[in-house]
Structure 1
Amino acid sequence: CSIHKGENIEALIAVSGVTLIYLPPYSPDFHQLRIVGQRFKSILRSIGARNYPDLLKSLEDAFNSLSTSDFQSWFTHSCYCTSLD
């Protein structure tokens, strides 16, 4: 039993007049870090650094290559709000 779904928590929330909506079960298909990580690792593999100084530069280059639209598409894929407002 999860603390977040315990009867005591549900009762406290119900008393305050709030509607409780649970998140869906965890799915690696919608986990943002997995999605971003796949892209990041792909970029690093394509650069092919073989020593520590080159790896540091590659990490910086890989991070800088990610665009706002990349992050928006990942959030859309994960069913999160994508508005920049």
Structure 2
Amino acid sequence: PAPHKHPKILQMLENAGVEVWYLPPYSPDFNPIEKMWSKVKTYLRKAKARTPQALLRAIKRAFQTITATDALGWFQHCGYRYNQS
């Protein structure tokens, strides 16, 4: 079986308290990276960079706007649980 479906791996995950969810091969609704790209693309549209240099600056600023709070929210929105211990 695939490594993430191997019985020994599944047992290790279960022992660690991990709940395994099997998603369809491509599920943008459950993919936090899609939320991140949405924020970056929105920023770039608003920046209206018209030169390569301006575009590079806008890309850098777009990524700098992403916070840990954003990332946590995207994971939670996609159904991932986070228990801070």
Q: State whether TM-score is above 0.5.
A: yes
Aligned partner of 1:45 in structure 2 is 45
RMSD: 2.6
* Separation (CA, whole Å) in 1 of partners of 2:30 and 2:20: 16
Q: Gaps (5+ residues) in structure 1?
A: none
3-state SS in 2 of match to 1:73: helix
How many angstroms apart in 1 are the aligned matches of 2:53 and 2:78?
34
When the two structures are superposed, what TM-score results if normalisation uses the length of structure 1?
Answer: 0.69
Q: Deviations over 1:60-82 (max 9, x none)?
A: 11111122221121011122233
Q: Deviations over 1:24-54 (max 9, x none)?
A: 2232101111111111101110001111100
When normalised by structure 2's length, the TM-score is 0.69
| Structure 1 segments (4+ residues) deviating >4 Å | none
Distance 1:47 1:37 in 2: 15
Flag structure 2 segments of 5+ consecutive residues without an equivalent.
none
Rg larger for: 1
Aligned length: 76
